[in-house]
Chains A and B, each alone.
Chain A
Amino acid sequence: MRITHEIEITPTAVILDGQTLTQTETGEKMLIELYRQYANDYPKFFKLDTLSRLGFIAAELLLKAEGATRFVPTEDRAVILANRSASIKNDTDYLETISEGNYYPSPALFVYTLPNIVTGEIAIRNKYLAETAFYVLDKPEQLTPIIETTLNAEHSELNSAIVGWCECNNANSFYAKLQIIWKN
């Protein structure tokens, strides 16, 4: 397996292929700043929960770094992400809408109460028709054998995948480390 691009995003730093990007904002506002700087053509971004925003913007920056043709339906690239806390930030936001005495459950929040939605958002944006999968793991290194066996599975049409750790505890506490990884 071969890693061609890597990005790390914390609430205060963005490092793409070893280069630090200079941002003026921090936390969730920094994710919006990154969107405006590097994408800005996908208004749906504003509807995403923080976990999806984090994974979406990390994938955007990786794909910009890669510089290949985008938005063409493709079946050879998977999206395989993991974290420890599933969709806890958005779960907490949804819980607020069903508090007793103020019960107005929000469908727009409920739909993001699954961690795999971030993989779906990346697939929809990029027209990836291949596998999307989300795992909840104690340690990031547990993802390695899962990625290897996914890419090398029998009859697999996959050549590459966007993989990594994508975790969001609240608007000011998140961590993403995503890579583009190739089978050969």
Chain B
Amino acid sequence: MEELIEQLKQQIIEALNFEDMTPADIDANAPLFGEGLGLDSIDALELIMLLDREYGIKLADPKSGKEVFRSVRSMAEYIQKNRTK
């Protein structure tokens, strides 16, 4: 799990162009939206695409994303359960 979290942090940094950040800067338990990383709606869509591209997960209903994208840890947990690649 911790390995997946580290990998995911790196993928998020690349996908969302956080050129100033390293994985160590991201708290796996901090909220991704609002406070914390302060992501916006386009970032949410980019994370949906990341799940599809890297883990073969199609998140059809953007509303279910709310739970999945609560934190990096919640994303990793969802990936572990649902990944197809």
Contact = CB atoms under 8 A, between A and B. Distances in A.
B53 A107 contact: no
Number of contact residues on A: which range applies? 10 to 19
A60 to B, nearest CB: 17
A142 interface: no
Interface string B43-78: 101100100110000000000000000000000000
A43 B20 contact: yes
Interface stretch (B1-9, B11-19, B28-36): B11-19
B42 interface: yes
Interface residues of B, number: 13
B38 to A, nearest CB: 8
B18 A107 contact: no
Contacts of A46: 17-20
Contacts of B53: 104
Main secondary structure of the interface of B (DSSP, over half): helix
Main secondary structure of the interface of A (DSSP, over half): helix
Contacts of A108: 15-17, 42-43, 45-46
Interface in A77-130: 104-108, 111
A108 B84 CA distance: 24
B16 A104 contact: no
Interface of B: 15-20, 42-43, 45-46, 49, 52-53
Given A43-B18, A106-B46, A107-B46, 15 more contacts: A32-B19, A43-B20, A46-B17, A46-B19, A46-B20, A47-B16, A104-B52, A104-B53, A106-B49, A108-B15, A108-B16, A108-B17, A108-B42, A108-B43, A108-B46
22 contacts: A32-B19, A43-B18, A43-B20, A46-B17, A46-B18, A46-B20, A47-B16, A47-B17, A104-B49, A104-B52, A105-B49, A106-B46, A106-B49, A107-B42, A107-B45, A107-B46, A107-B49, A108-B15, A108-B43, A108-B45, A108-B46, A111-B42
